[in-house]
Amino acid sequence: MSKTIYKTVITKLGESINEFLDQGMIITFKDNAPAELAEFCLLHSENDLRKDIQVGDTLKIGERSFNVTAVGDAVNQNLSSLGHITLRFDGAEEADLPGTLVLENKEIGTLSVGDVITIER
């Protein structure tokens, strides 16, 4: 049985978020993000990370699931303190930046305000 180690809800999608979605990336930020960043981000409500994220965990956005393939060195700290990480959907086995959580290379699909995001083990 899987255990939820992180859960949040999308509160807002920045007007320019598609520029990153088209490159297979989502930048997340807690809903107090500075305005100049917020327009590129998926904003959410929670920073409740219960355990460090590891390779093999599953990130879910709504009904869609993505396996975690790499975890940047700063991901757990940044998610806990700022709710700010980059989700990269390219299946790499190494994160290119410390704040990047790498997920399997799958279509992201449509994002909507109110979608629940969880990370499960």
Catalytic residue among 8, 10, 38, 44: 44
Helix (H) / strand (E) containing 19: helix 17-21
Cα-to-chain-centroid distance, residue 47:
11
Residues 116, 32, 3, 70, Cα dihedral to 10°? 100
Give catalytic status of residue 84 as yes or no: no
Whether 5 and 53 have beta carbons less than 8 Å apart is answered as yes
The residues annotated with a catalytic role in the active site are 44
